[in-house]
Amino acid sequence: MLVLVINCGSSSVKYDVIETEERRDICRGIVERIGAVTSILKHEPAGKERIKETKVINDHGEALQEILNFLLSDEAGVLSSPSDIKAVGHRVVHGGEMFKDSVLIDDVVKDAIKQAFDLAPLHNPPNLKGIQAAQERLPDIPHVAVFDTAFHHSLPPHAYLYGIPNRLYRRHKIRKYGFHGTSHYYVSRQYYKLTDKPRKDTKVITCHLGNGASIAAIKGGESIDTSMGFTPLSGMVMGTRSGDLDPSILFYIMEKEEIQLNSLHSMLNRHSGLLGLSGYASDMRDLIEEARNGDRRCQQAIDVFCYTIQKYIGSYIAALNGCDAILLTAGIGENSPVIRQKSLENLDGLGIEIDSEKNENLTRGKLEKISSDTSKTEIYVVPTNEELVIAIDAAKIASAKGQSPWV
């Protein structure tokens, strides 16, 4: 089945067309800088020449129209008619407490996504815009919402409750939700294909290390804890997000720097993390290069990042009472031997031994084992594929008319 996968950010729309039976990417692309003076369109059909254009694109609706034009065009197109697409899968970041699974989108679902605007102000509004724009242009095709939070719905209360008055949970649903669910789900399932152990007995730790980063503890196939919380701001130090802080720091900053809530929000989301620590860049490649050139703050940013990974691994081994495998994924996890080495090299006391040579010499884009033969816990680099999870979910929901395929 051909599925169009859509991932809308505040100023971008990423898209993929995926053939779900063959699990094949037919085409992918992105429209960036929507609403800016000029927007950039990149369209990459498999086996055909890539296209890059600049154009004025004012909103998500226009972006969607451009994407459909590309998909149907003579030279770079991959569809003969819009009806070739049998389902549209939309990434929705926050499903609140309501969505434990992916769902067929109707007015009630759209309303619930809207109700979660306060929980994910940077993500849910553009996600809904994308849904509306796609439904207007593809009205006869089932649209499915796949939530980043859904996979973490199995968290037990002792993992998702915060130490604040319980009425705040009851009134406002303030609790840990967790994100990157499709990625943690996908990489854990790739591991299950490798092991003979019955799934119910498996214990794995998945580390999604990209611009946004989160770690999850997965027992018997279900997420039992994860580093991101009420919003994707918490947990690991990330590209531009602070990760966990002592909450008192927030009051202190507001007082000392004389700033208001919205500036604080922006500081913690856009100017903190690796960027804030280094004062140089949020991109790990740049930091590694500058640290090699002797920049102390870039090195410190890397040290904080890797130390945070170590601490999460240690605490999740305790939460799981053991660990069969650590799975590393996303931009940094898949591509940076330096960060993998630094994050995992001093954990031999926990039975975790990385093999430096395997770590250095693995083939990019492939699932590979990088632990030593004597390591009690295996370590794998597992390329993630969130779009495929969204496409398969959308295909199953569309053909099952609303039934959840999550297993």
| Contacting positions for ligand ADP (CB under 6 A) | 210-212, 239, 283-285, 288, 330-332, 335-336
Alpha-carbon distance 168 to 26, whole Å? 46
Instruction: Decide whether 142 or 210 has the Cβ nearer to ligand ADP.
Output: 210
Tally of CB atoms within 10 A around 303: 13
Active-site hit among 148, 303, 324, 393: 148
Task: Report helix, strand or coil for 177.
Answer: coil
Q: Which of 271, 383, 295, 404 is nearest to 331 (CA)?
A: 383
In angstroms, give the least distance from the CB of 180 to ligand ADP. Answer: 9
Q: Which residue is nearest to ligand ADP (CB)?
A: 331
Closest CA to 68 of 18, 6, 11, 137: 137
* Shortest CB 174 distance to ligand ADP, Å: 25
Beta-bridge partner residues of 54: 40
CA distances from 376 to 99, 271, 364 (A): 37, 39, 25
Angle between the N-to-C axes of helices 248-257 and 261-270, in degrees from 0 to 180, rounded to the nearest 10 = 120
Over the Cα atoms of the chain, what is R_g? 21
Strand 103-104 and strand 222-226: the pairing is unpaired
Q: Which is nearer to ligand ADP, 229 or 232 (CB)?
A: 232
What beta strand segments (E) does 23-171 contain? 24-32, 39-45, 51-55, 87-92, 103-104, 143-147
Q: What's the rounded Cα separation, in Å, for the pair 39 and 27? A: 20
Q: How far is the CB of 159 from ligand ADP (least distance, A)?
A: 24
- Indicate the burial class of 19 (C-beta count within 10 angstroms; 0-12, 13-18, 19 or more): middle
Distance CA 153, CA 131 (A): 23
Closest CB 11 distance from ligand ADP, rounded Å: 14
CB of residue 339 to ligand ADP, shortest distance in Å = 7
Q: Which one, 88 or 288, has the nearer CB to ligand ADP? A: 288
Of 129 and 208, nearer to ligand ADP (C-beta) is 208
Q: Which residues make beta-bridge pairs with 214?
A: 208
* Cβ distance to ligand ADP smaller for residue 102 or 335: 335
Distance CA 335, CA 209 (A): 10
Q: By C-beta, is 11 or 154 nearer to ligand ADP? A: 11
CB of 332 to ligand ADP, least distance (A): 4
225 is catalytic: no
CB of 384 to ligand ADP, least distance (A): 8
**Token pair for residue 26?**
């037919």
Cβ distance to ligand ADP smaller for residue 145 or 237: 237
Report long-range pairs for 342-350 (Cβ below 8 Å, ≥24 apart). 342/302, 342/303, 342/306, 343/207, 343/305, 343/306, 343/309, 343/310, 343/313, 344/309, 344/310, 344/313, 344/379, 346/310, 347/310, 347/313, 347/314, 350/313, 350/314, 350/317, 350/377
- Which residues form the catalytic set? 148
